[in-house]
Amino acid sequence: MAIATPYSEKTDEQKAITEMVRQFADEQIIPNAEHYDHEDEFPQPIVAQMKELGLFGVTIPEEYGGMGLDLTTYAMIVEELSRGWISISGIVNTHFIGSYLLMKFGTEEQKQKYLPPMATGEMRAAFSLSEPELGSDVAAIKTSAKKVDDTHYEINGTKMWVTNGLLSSLVFVLVRTDPAADPKHRGLTCFVAEKEPGASENSGEYAGFSVPPKIKKMGYKGVESTELVFDGYRCPVENILGGEAAGLNKGFAQMMDALELGRVNVAARGVGLAQRALELALKYSQERRAFGRPIAQHQAIQFKLADMATQVEAARLLTMRAARLKDAGERSDIEAGMAKLFASEAARLCAEECLRIHGGYGYSKEYEIERLYRDAPLLLIGEGTSEIQRMVIGRKLLQRHKI
């Protein structure tokens, strides 16, 4: 693979794959997103095509049936998918985090068992930290797992806001295994919980795992967000991520590592949404006339376009930089936090400015910007809110520059 000039240019391979995904977004996602968004319906035909394109296995090594591409290329793909509709990137996002957890921490048996069906999208993955009473404060997790015999742990508790909660086959779920641990985060373990995709009540070997009806949301429709209820769900010992000896009570560090990657992923989604808002604003402002000329000829509108374009470009550069540092094996905790913070705020700003440029039509469901405006705020929340990103950046900055 040719080496890209840092931080702007793409390798030939990256160009080819992102052009392919952009075309897919233009032809298959954008024309259909309105329907699935308005009906809050899972976009099954689009997902079927994504499976054919191999988009569920982008970062999974070739030996397990994936494409074996790096985080940077993955982020470029996510930008294109999100430019089409962020719910589509949401369907891949939790799956990507699950496959990363397996690749980095899984036993060879876990990799052999799950990565090949994940690479094709036959098995899709969700990840679950949040609970009804906590989100930012992950160390306070209450859902618990207790060893009940030599072969199984029993999981009890309720999880909240699980993206892909119903249709996934695997949930990487963080639960408490040591109630007495001090500090609390040392008592958490990640289990790979299997279930029947699409079943609200599981039975047989998955009994005790149920999925309540999906949560109704203002945006980010089509992809389901659900609670998960564990009531005596028996999870085999071998489904502790990394195995019992290596993985018990190590879940917090594993999940935090994955979330760093997840932040680059959310940043890429922000860039895609902001880019689309800019495109819509550029088009509409040259078509719409007011006071005898296209509104793009009014300086106040040009300033908005200029600010939006600057935000998009800066967000993209921060995102690519964080991804490239991670790919190079360098420390990227601050950079991933900065990219997520900046790109999600850029998406919110660009969505709002684009809506303003559309005037009254921006408030109509006939125009695409109305969907972007409802979708953008999610990016401020998932994978850590803007407040939490600032906490992470501030804390790590002081660690790096301790005097």
Q: Which residues bind ligand FAD (CB under 6 A)?
A: 94, 127-130, 134-136, 161-163, 217, 220, 225, 378, 381-382, 384-385, 387-388
Contact 192, 114 (CB under 8 A): yes
CB 219 within 8 A of CB 377: yes
Is the Cβ of residue 40 or residue 279 nearer to ligand FAD in the bound state? 40
- Nearest approach, Cβ of 105 to ligand FAD (angstroms)? 17
Q: What is the number of the residue whose Cβ is closest to ligand FAD?
A: 135
Closer by beta carbon to ligand FAD, 321 or else 371: 371
Q: Which residues fall within 8 angstroms of residue 204, CB to CB, at 6 or more apart?
A: none
CB of 262 to ligand FAD, least distance (A): 9
Question: Catalytic residue among 19, 345, 383, 387, which?
Answer: 383
CA–CA–CA angle 378, 338, 356 (5° rounding):
45
Cβ 256 to ligand FAD, closest distance in Å?
13
Note if 383 is an active site residue.
Answer: yes
- Cβ nearer to ligand FAD, comparing 139 with 199: 139
Instruction: For residue 16, count other CB atoms closer than 10 A to its CB.
Output: 11
Specify the residue, 67 or 97, whose C-beta has the smaller distance to ligand FAD. 97
- Nearest distance from C-beta of residue 167 to ligand FAD, angstroms: 13
CA distance 292 to 30: 32
Calpha distance 383→261 (Å, rounded): 10
DSSP string, 221-266: -SS-EEEEEEEEEEEEGGGBTT-HHHHTT-HHHHHHHHHHHHHHHH
Nearest 5 degrees, angle CA 294-CA 296-CA 300? 125
Q: How many helices (H) and strands (E) does the chain have?
A: 12, 9
CB of 82 to ligand FAD, least distance (A): 14
Q: Which is nearer to ligand FAD, 17 or 258 (CB)?
A: 258
Distances (CA, A) of 374 to 304, 363, 380, 385: 20, 11, 12, 17
Catalytic residues: 383
